[in-house]
């Protein structure tokens, strides 16, 4: 029978994972994705490496399932999700989605065991007590405020983790992370300070792995909160910010000033024709006077957690404070705990704040849809209808030229309304002991520890913050996602250190001609850590728990499920 092919390919770039044997490696630069091709092929099956070890007795709990919307009038992307047989699941969409494989490869949409989810009612906190995934590691102990301790999963379907014990620690101070790496207390760290790159490269005991700038740092406004409800105030602040100075003073080599919200590598999406407001403090003063808002006093909220898009949040906040003082605006800096900050901004409670975004997959929909077209993300205030319309239209089109027409309008609307201020695309890195094999950085910040090798039976990783939970369906924070990714897996995956899609829990997939039906064939013999065998009903149950607002498992942690509405638009059975 003639094979049906997917009609769009996604940007590819490859990172070479290097096996290190006693000498310091020369890190290989990651290729940044370019223009997306216009056709794609089905992912071929990959045979798993058999694992013969003692573990829980495997058990089968397959049931036929189908969750279906009465019609597509409810406004979401999904029409139905159903089991075809024990190892086949089909998604039927209300409209084409060129980025669908990338979305299901994203770790937020990992698959949980249906029985386990039912027993915990999809409560992320309950599920984090004893996470039940299919990944290379399992949770041994979470000492809140100190560390997460993992151990190798003895029944992992793929190549077993080479290092039996994994520990996640955290510190918001980059100097502390580097000191612990240098002293041998930890084996790898995230986001060393830009000023320390040369020091790491000069140390024969360490290795630096640069991470491409597939991100955005922005200054956010909530236009429903005064005085930011006045577009002239937002414009004045835009003119008052010297973005070039911020990049020059506080960012690593390879970083660049942002013209628009997405990095230049994401095309369609990036707009060459649209540029941001220039630095002009006199114009800022004029606009403030016109608005009757001279001598403003405002609060700038931040979390002092290092990110690849914002390597020194406290210093950058102080720089912004100083620059706004020059036009007569007094800024009070409000430092918040990381999880509380993320929850507050997404709930629309902060008027003026610093935030950013690392790509989850190499597509403009990942940037625009989540931030400006998701009902559950209120960080900028109530949605701009014309902006939502253009974003949604672009996401339903396969042709890159036609998509770009909409994205040019999106970027112009973002500028006209000063929804936020795009500041920088930040280069960053990871650093490891030179003796660690398989060390890497990822442009998606999803470093996987199961591929590492060491002459020790323990690997200690130090990142910037503590995870919020260990079941990530209702999370957006990168530190939390990386912690979940060691335990849970999605239908598809991204190549280690890159963005190329490859098989995950599904060994292959195929789409119909108009890309509204996507059928995934699951691997057989994959076992959850409690012994349950993976089947198609687990996939349906995992997606239904977040899609169907009437499901008893639609709980999560905050209940907002921001990624779902950003990627797939609307919940089923949602009450207004």
> Could you give the dihedral angle defined by the CA atoms of residues 328, 333, 339 and 342, in that order, rounded to the nearest 10 degrees?
0
- Provide the whole-model pTM: 0.83
Task: List, for residues 28-38, the tens digit of each pLDDT value.
Answer: 333 344 333 33
**Strand 517-522 with 506-511, pairing:** antiparallel
Task: List, for residues 386-414, the tens digit of each pLDDT value.
Answer: 999 999 999 888 889 999 999 999 999 99
CB neighbour class for 464 (10 Å; exposed up to 12, middle 13-18, buried from 19): buried
Residues in the chain: 576
Residue pair 169/460 in contact (Cβ under 8 Å)? The answer is yes
Average pLDDT, the chain: 91
Out of 8-17, 37-46, 187-196, least confident range: 8-17
> Does residue 15 surpass a pLDDT of 60?
no
Q: Name the architecture of domain 66-209+428-568.
A: 3-Layer(aba) Sandwich (3.40)
Task: List, for residues 310-357, the tens digit of each pLDDT value.
Answer: 999 999 999 999 999 999 999 999 999 999 999 999 999 999 999 999
> Does residue 3 surpass a pLDDT of 80?
no
Cα dihedral sign for 199, 201, 204, 206? Answer: positive
Residue pair 356/425 in contact (Cβ under 8 Å)? The answer is no
Q: CA-CA distance, 517 to 233, in Å (whole number)? A: 47
Residue pair 280/221 in contact (Cβ under 8 Å)? The answer is no
Residues 6+ apart with CB under 8 A from 85: 536
Cα dihedral sign for 427, 430, 435, 439? Answer: negative
Instruction: For the chain, give every domain's residue range.
Output: 66-209+428-568, 215-425
Given 3.10.105.10, 3.90.180.10, 3.40.50.300, 1.10.1520.10, which CATH number is that of 215-425? 3.10.105.10
Q: CA-CA distance, 18 to 34, in Å (whole number)? A: 24
What's the pLDDT score for residue 54? 55
Q: How confident is the model at residue 55 (pLDDT cuts 50, 70, 90)?
A: low
What's the pLDDT score for residue 98? 83
CB neighbour class for 1 (10 Å; exposed up to 12, middle 13-18, buried from 19): exposed
CB neighbour class for 201 (10 Å; exposed up to 12, middle 13-18, buried from 19): middle
Task: List, for residues 167-191, the tens digit of each pLDDT value.
Answer: 999 999 999 999 999 999 999 999 9
What's the pLDDT score for residue 576? 65
Same fold, 66-209+428-568 and 215-425: no
DSSP 8-state class, residue 477: -
3-state secondary structure of 303: strand
Output b/e per residue, 417-442; b: 16+ Cβ within 10 A.
Answer: bbbbbbbbbbbbbbbbbbbbbbbbbb
Q: CA-CA distance, 54 to 45, in Å (whole number)? A: 27
> Does residue 41 surpass a pLDDT of 50?
no
């Amino acid at each position: 029978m003639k094979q049906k092919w997917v009609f769009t390919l996604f940007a590819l770039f490859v990172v070479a994972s290097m096996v290190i044997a006693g000498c310091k490696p020369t890190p290989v630069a990651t290729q940044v994705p370019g223009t997306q091709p216009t056709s794609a092929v089905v992912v071929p099956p990959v045979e798993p490496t058999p694992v013969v070890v003692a573990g829980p007795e495997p058990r089968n709990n397959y049931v036929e399932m189908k969750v279906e919307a009465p019609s597509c009038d409810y406004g979401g992307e999904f029409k139905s999700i159903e089991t075809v047989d024990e190892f086949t699941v089909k998604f039927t969409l209300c409209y084409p989605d060129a980025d669908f494989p990338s979305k299901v490869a994203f770790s937020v949409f990992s698959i949980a065991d249906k029985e386990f989810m039912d027993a915990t009612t999809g409560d992320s906190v309950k599920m984090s007590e004893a996470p039940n995934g299919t990944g290379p590691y399992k949770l041994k102990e979470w000492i809140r405020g100190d560390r997460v301790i993992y151990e190798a999963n003895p029944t992992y379907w793929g190549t077993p983790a080479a290092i039996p014990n994994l520990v996640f620690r955290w510190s918001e101070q980059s100097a502390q992370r580097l000191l612990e790496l240098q002293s041998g207390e930890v084996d790898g760290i995230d986001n060393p300070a830009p000023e320390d790159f040369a020091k790491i490269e000069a140390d024969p005991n360490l290795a630096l792995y640069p991470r491409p700038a597939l991100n955005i740092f922005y200054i956010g406004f909530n236009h429903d909160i005064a005085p930011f409800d006045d577009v002239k105030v937002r414009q004045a602040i835009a003119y008052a910010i010297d973005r070039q100075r911020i990049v020059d003073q506080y960012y690593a080599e390879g970083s660049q000033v942002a013209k628009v919200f997405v990095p230049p590598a994401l095309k369609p999406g990036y707009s060459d024709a649209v540029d941001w407001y220039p630095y002009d403090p006199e114009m800022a003063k004029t606009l403030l006077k016109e608005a009757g808002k001279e001598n403003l006093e405002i609060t700038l909220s931040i979390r002092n957690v290092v990110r690849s898009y914002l390597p020194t949040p406290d210093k950058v906040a102080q720089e912004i404070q100083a620059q706004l003082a020059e036009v007569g605006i007094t800024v009070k800096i409000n430092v918040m705990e990381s999880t509380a900050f993320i929850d507050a901004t997404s709930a629309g409670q902060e008027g003026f704040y610093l935030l950013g975004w690392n790509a989850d997959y190499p597509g403009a929909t990942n940037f625009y849809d989540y931030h400006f077209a998701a009902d559950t993300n209120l960080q900028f205030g109530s949605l701009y209808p014309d902006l939502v319309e253009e974003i949604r239209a672009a996401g339903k089109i396969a042709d890159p030229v036609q998509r770009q027409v909409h994205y040019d309008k999106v970027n112009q609307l973002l500028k006209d309304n000063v929804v936020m201020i795009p500041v920088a695309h930040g280069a960053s890195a990871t650093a490891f002991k030179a003796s660690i094999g398989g060390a890497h950085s990822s442009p998606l910040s999803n470093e996987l520890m199961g591929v590492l090798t060491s002459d020790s039976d323990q690997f200690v990783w130090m990142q910037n913050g503590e995870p919020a939970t260990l079941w990530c369906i209702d999370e957006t924070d990168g530190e939390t996602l990386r912690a979940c990714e060691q335990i849970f897996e999605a239908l598809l995956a991204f190549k280690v250190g890159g963005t190329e899609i490859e098989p995950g829990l599904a060994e292959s997939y195929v789409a119909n001609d108009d890309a509204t039906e996507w059928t995934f064939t699951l691997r057989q013999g994959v076992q959850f850590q409690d012994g349950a065998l993976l089947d198609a009903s687990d996939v349906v149950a995992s997606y239904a728990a977040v899609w169907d607002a009437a499901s008893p498992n639609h709980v999560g942690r905050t209940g907002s499920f921001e990624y779902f509405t950003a990627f797939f638009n609307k919940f089923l059975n949602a009450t207004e």
